[in-house]
Amino acid sequence: MNFNLPDNKYKAIVIGGSAGSFQLVTRILATVSKDFALPIFLCLHRLKHVRNGFVEALCIKSNKPVVEPYDKEPIKRGMVYLAPANYHLCIELGNTIALSSEDLVNNSRPAIDHTFETAAYVYKDKLIGILLSGANKDGALGMKKIKEAGGLTVVQSPEDSLINAMPSAAIAATNIDYVMPIDGIIDFLIELDRSYKMANI
Amino acid sequence: MTPLFTDNGNDIDIADVRKLTDLVKQRYGYDFKDYAMSSFRRRIKRVLELYKLKSVDKLIAILDSNTDFFEEFISEITVNVTEMFRDPTFWKILKEQIIPNILLSHDKISIWHAGCSSGEEVYSMSIVLQEMGILDKARIVATDLDTAIIKKAQSGTYSMKNMDVNRKNYQRYMGVHSLDDYFKEVNGEAVMDKALMQNVSFRRHDLVQGAVFSKFDLVLCRNVMIYFNQTLQNNVLNRLHESLFKYGYLAIGSKESLIWCEIANKFIVVNNEEKIYKKIKD
Ligand SMILES: C[S@@+](CC[C@H](N)C(=O)[O-])C[C@H]1O[C@@H](n2cnc3c(N)ncnc32)[C@H](O)[C@@H]1O
């Protein structure tokens, strides 16, 4: 597949997932290179009361460090940020992350919609949103916001998803630029990584 | 039929947020200018949806003409979500280390809950102190910006639905009894034992503009400053620092940090996992 990736246009990637997405995220983190330029924000549905273990599990195969940020942590290039248990992860003005203990959204805290919406507001057309397998409609509204702000939208194809409710809801909510199986999403990230490295030579 | 996606489409501009915070400041004296944009914009949007208002200008017009509406506005714009024994391990450390340490050098203990919301945190504290057998040695002040939520805290009445989470947290904290020993179920609601509140005084206090009013051995300000930007966090932290006795303790939310704050060098970290700090310099 050929991807239309304007040179160095994008500034950040947000990834949302729920049931059936953990293995995929592990694969993604094992694929992107150590010096992958963009910050990645991960919002994955998780148990509210289990604070430890998740980030460690993601780190095992990741080429890049994965952290659960503190409130108002400055965003750094090339870092991977995971929404902590029982907090929404939002992108704040001034290149920082803001956490929030607001109500559950779509039965979840962290909620993908909050991460996606705030990222779309801050990064505008310089954001890539990726939505993976999951069991509810969280992330659909967020994808719509990313699209409306001019960002790039990528969704795992429902047939390829273990649980297709989340991808399907996003596809129904807005125009998705790339609907593809996880292998395609991996190729896309490799291509993106390469385009950044080329542009830097 | 409920629509699949409830979204009125309008995004809130920063310029509109400014107009709103200016009006509220000038008309009512409250200052929301330095609240974190990501959540504050969302709260405004929520208020618009709740009252079916088409624009921020409409909201401004109502706030300007109808002063009775203001208290409701404050209740809706603030985030009041809370739990009893939130972060059970935090409460365990308080019981096993922090409170015993304070009592080594004092026979009384003074505690401030800054941003107490509906009071779950305060009841948790009283239960801890009660189970340690020192509730009568405590003086507790619990404050919040939102008058309606303070009334709720004083009434100590919670929906039974919320008690599930509270019970689970209490068990994880490893309380010596059952949480059910501390409340009675009345008409489907949990009514907390009033005796727990014997040494607690609730009052309205604004962390942004309120003066330092007393000094404490232990200040809890958990999940309040996450709704502020960094400038405001620094200001409020200075005030919290002033409100502590030297060698007193400050507890913030488990995902908050003092690392980026100017005041950090006047504290040492006592427990990094639970975000408990000790004031070591005036
Ligand atoms: C999310 S609750 C925190 C409750 C509890 N401390 C906890 O951690 O579960 C935040 C509270 O801070 C209060 N608050 C917001 N701005 C404030 C201010 N300027 N002064 C005092 N309280 C404020 C809100 O009304 C709300 O009740």
Q: Where are the domains of chain B?
A: 6-77, 88-279
- What is the CA(B262)–ligand 1 centre distance, in A? 22
Would you call B118 exposed, middle or buried from its count of C-beta atoms within 10 A (0-12, 13-18, 19+)? buried
Helix, strand or coil, per DSSP, at residue B258: coil
Percent of chain B with pLDDT over 90: 94
Beta-carbon separation of B230 and A96 below 8 A: yes
Domain B88-279 matching CATH 3.50.50.60: the answer reads no
Q: Is the peptide bond before A158 cis (omega within 30 degrees of 0)?
A: no
What confidence tens digit (pLDDT) does each residue in B164-183 have? 999 999 999 999 999 999 99
ipTM for the predicted complex: 0.93
The Cα B117–Cα B82 span in angstroms is 7
Are B114 and B220 in contact, with CB atoms under 8 Å apart? yes
Give the tens place of pLDDT for each residue, B40-96.
Answer: 999 999 999 999 999 999 999 999 999 999 999 999 999 999 999 999 999 999 999
Domain extents for chain A? 12-199
**Contact assignment for B38 to A98 by CB distance below 8 Å:** yes
Structure tokens given for B194? 């009033």
Tokens describing residue B246: 């030297």
Question: Over its length of 201 residues, how does chain A's per-residue pLDDT go in tens digits?
Answer: 778 888 789 999 999 999 889 999 999 999 999 999 999 999 999 988 888 899 999 999 999 999 999 999 999 999 999 999 999 999 999 999 999 999 999 999 999 999 999 999 999 999 999 999 999 999 999 999 999 999 999 999 999 999 999 999 999 999 999 999 999 999 999 999 999 888 877
Does B2 score more than 80 pLDDT?
A: no
What pLDDT score does A83 carry? 98
For domain B6-77, give the fold. Chemotaxis Receptor Methyltransferase Cher; domain 1 (1.10.155)
Exposed, middle or buried, A109 (CB in 10 Å: 0-12/13-18/19+)? buried
Is residue B8 pLDDT above 60, yes or no? no
Query: Above 80 in pLDDT, residue B237?
Result: yes
Which fold, A12-199? Rossmann fold (3.40.50)
Find the CB nearest B81 among A91, A98, A101: A101
Query: Rounded to a whole number, what is the distance in Å from the CA of A73 to chain B's nearest CA?
Result: 8
Please enumerate residues of B whose Cβ is less than 8 A from a Cβ of A.
4-5, 7, 11, 36-39, 41-42, 79, 81-82, 87-88, 168-169, 172, 223, 225-227, 229-230, 233, 253-257, 259-260
